[in-house]
Structure 1
């Protein structure tokens, strides 16, 4: 049985349908929020008699309740050729597992879930839906995709297409992207709650030998080459990887959440802790 992914939106939800997330709206039903004077919320059905009798100014006190709203949750998935990488884990399989689990969890609480595959262009492969079977549709749609091409510019294009009410957007990529594409992605999503998921593999760093001949392949058309790994080269490699991750972290934090590192295997509980802001 799959693990439920727990999440919450940073800030109030503004969807049209009732759901599981806190909203700015107040009304007669929902979770108790506060007590206010009758003139601020003139609903005679919600008069609090005890508070009214205790009011030293002899005013009428009304209970307000917090409304709950549903969200749209979107996964923007990098579908360039680098996402075919296989090392300690299989990148595209990890992406599929995460998206399927998130779709199942979102629709279970009444949220809509959709997926865009982003290569050179963005394509909606599963429209946002609350219906049963959305998770299975997500798994089938992603299984039918073979990541290809050298561009993931569609990520920024997808960000521009998600206009309207605030959404929870999970941007999934290895984030080995040109600086302008990366900056455009976050800029165009700044009205939403963005969760960057950086898909990596331990073979890129922990698995590097200190010394030895290794064969590298550029999945985006650069061909194969053999490299003699040695301690100095390994140190430079690891330093550049650390610099790249730190640059992504700083950029992501400028717009909201830090990136989540998805490496080698998918752990639903760990991802939930990140989404809830309780990661260690």
Structure 2
């Protein structure tokens, strides 16, 4: 079993209930934040006598405390057919493992976890929940699915549906999508803390042979064909992959966070370091 995923929201949380994340809200309990005049925070229980006696303006001073809030964590998952690719690893198995770990980790600290799986439209919707069994529900639904959509256009509608309080949104895809669609999804998610997770496979990168016959299958309806791989074709392939990664990275950084590359196997500790901003 994968250990807990650790994460923090970029900026203050704005959830409706008490939780584990820093917020702008203040109150009578929590982590000490600052001293303010009584008229700004009229709570006689929090009067600081020492600070009041030291106040040069002879005012009454109270202590304010920072309230911690819960938040919603959402996974937007690409259900297009390319997400069932099997090479050095099994793409859908990686997605499933990641989402289960996120659901378990979020609900364990009092956050809510929700998931929307998208083909041409939103095809799988699990509303955000703090219930203990949320991770089990995610596991059951994802393990019963086989991505087969001809597109992932539903990501746009899913992103629009997440309007409201700031959320942590993990977008899980191989990002072999039209650039216009990818850009529009990020635009719709403005205001949230967006974490792109790019599912990749070594068999489609440096694992390609320099020379030889390989069999390719277009999982979105183009059928199978054999291709003679040669150095020039391999170089063009790798260059196109580099361009796709560079586009995603530049787009993601404009919206706050760099993409996380998930290839061949899922490592919860490595993903935690990425979310906490401590990756090497």
CA deviation after TM superposition for structure 1 residue 17, in Å: 0.9
CA deviation after TM superposition for structure 1 residue 203, in Å: 0.6
Q: Is 1:138 aligned to residue 138 of structure 2? A: yes
Give me the whole-angstrom Cα distance separating, in 2, the residues matched to 1:206 and 1:239: 11
CA deviation after TM superposition for structure 1 residue 149, in Å: 2.3
The total of aligned residue pairs comes to: 280
Give me the whole-angstrom Cα distance separating, in 2, the residues matched to 1:238 and 1:51: 64
1:153-202, Cα deviation, whole Å (9 max, x unpaired): 01111001111111111000000001221111101111211100000001
Say if 1:116 and 1:158, in contact at 8 Å, map to a contact too: yes
CA deviation after TM superposition for structure 1 residue 124, in Å: 4.0
TM-score with structure 2 setting the length:
0.98
1:211 match: 211
Identify the range of structure 1 (96-105 vs 142-151) with the bigger mean alpha-carbon deviation.
142-151
Unaligned stretches of 5+ in structure 1? none
Q: How does 1:70-81 map to 2 (within 5 A)?
A: 70-81=70-81
SS at match of 1:145: coil
- Output the aligned Cα RMSD: 1.0
2:59 match: 59
SS at match of 2:137: helix
Give me the whole-angstrom Cα distance separating, in 2, the residues matched to 1:274 and 1:57: 47
Unaligned stretches of 5+ in structure 2? none
Q: How does 1:1-280 map to 2 (within 5 A)?
A: 1-280=1-280
1:98-155, Cα deviation, whole Å (9 max, x unpaired): 0000100000000000111100001343211001110000000101111002200011
Give me the whole-angstrom Cα distance separating, in 2, the residues matched to 1:136 and 1:167: 22
CA deviation after TM superposition for structure 1 residue 56, in Å: 2.4
SS at match of 1:207: coil
SS at match of 2:279: coil
SS at match of 1:176: coil
Give me the whole-angstrom Cα distance separating, in 1, the residues matched to 2:221 and 2:260: 28
